[in-house]
Amino acid sequence: MSIFSIRKATADDISIIKQFIIDLAIYEKMLDDVVVTDELLHDSLFVHHSAHCILAFEDKTPVGFALYFYNYSTFLGKKGLYLEDLFVNPTYRGKGYGKQLLLHLVQVATQQNCGRMEWSVLNWNTPAIEFYESLGAEAMSEWTVFRLNSKKMEALISTK
C-alpha cells in the first residue's frame, strides 16, 4: 500500500518544483512563458519568502505541488491565501491527491487567520473547474483578471 504525504518544500527541492512548473506549463499550453530559473526560485521561495511551496509524495516519489502566497483584502481587513499553482502528475490523478493538497492549504489559511482563499483557473480547464466546484468553491464571474507584464510596465513607465 502506498503512503501519501505532504510537506513544505526546502531549498533542496528546487529541481522538483521547477519540473512541476514545467509540467504544469505544458498542460496549460504555456511552456513558452516559463523563464524561471533555479536561482529565481531559490531567491523567491527561500531568501525573500515571496511565495511558499508544498510538495505531495506517494511513498518517496514527488507527485504534485502547490505554490501560494499571501495577499490582502481591504474589505475584510485580513490577509488571504492566493493559490498560484496546484498540479498533480497525470499518472497520479484520481487518487485524491489534488484534494489533499487543497485541504492542506485550507488548513494553512485557517491557521494564518486568512479571510479567504483565491485562485485562477483557465476557462478551458473543465476538469479543474469541476473539481473546485465539487469542493464548494465559487467562480467569481463578475471579476476579470488584468495583467501588465514586465515589458508593458517598462513601456508604461517610459510614457511618464
Active site residues: 132
Quote helix, strand, coil % in the chain, to nearest 5. Answer: 40, 25, 35
Q: Which grid coordinates are listed for 148?
A: 501588465
Q: Which grid coordinates are listed for 96?
A: 485524491
Please name the residues in contact with 137: beta carbons below 8 A apart, sequence gap of 6 or more: none
CA atoms within 13 A on the CB side of 13: 23
Nearest alpha-carbon partner for 56 in 7, 124, 105, 119? 7
